Amino acid sequence: MIFYVGAVAVAAACGYYWVSQRRLRKRTIEQIYQWPPMNPSQYFHTHFNGRPDLEQIAERIQLILGEETGLDFSRISPDERFDGPMGNILDGMDTIEALIRIEEEFKIKITDEEAESVKSFAQLIELAAGKIN
């Protein structure tokens, strides 16, 4: 009987933790989603002043990051820091898998030091663009 009560208490605590983490994730997503979704053309003309050299690179990286993290990057400022509120959502494996896919997509190599120095979506785009060109 004591074991059963203990197991129920542990299950309740785990459930509470899970619910609180989901609420935190939802609040954080609401915080980093700064505007309604934009189509790729609107997004890049708004944030990158229509720089054509970055538009296709940024669109492909945006797609990869969205698939790996489940976030809608058309609603996130390119200057949003990965170690800010977004860091509460991204886990290490999502980030590593996204970097591997970016390397494969563009046939580039991103060193560990470069990966650690990237703090935002915009910096990641600039890094990939610099390696491609």
Exposure string for 5-27, b = 16+ CB within 10 A, e = fewer: eeeeeeeeeeeeeeeeeeeeeee
What average pLDDT does the segment 13-35 reach?
Answer: 63
pLDDT at 11 over 60: no
Res 5: pLDDT: 54
What is residue 20's predicted lDDT score, i.e. its pLDDT? 64
The full DSSP string for the chain is: -HHHHHHHHHHHHHHHHHHHHHHHHHHHHHHHB-SS---HHHHHHHHSTT-HHHHHHHHHHHHHHHHHH---GGGB-TT-BTTTGGGGT--HHHHHHHHHHHHHHHT----HHHHHH--BHHHHHHHHHHHH-
Domains detected in the chain: 33-132 (1.10.1200.10)
Residue 93 confidence (pLDDT) above 90? no
| pLDDT at residue 8 greater than cutoff 70 | no
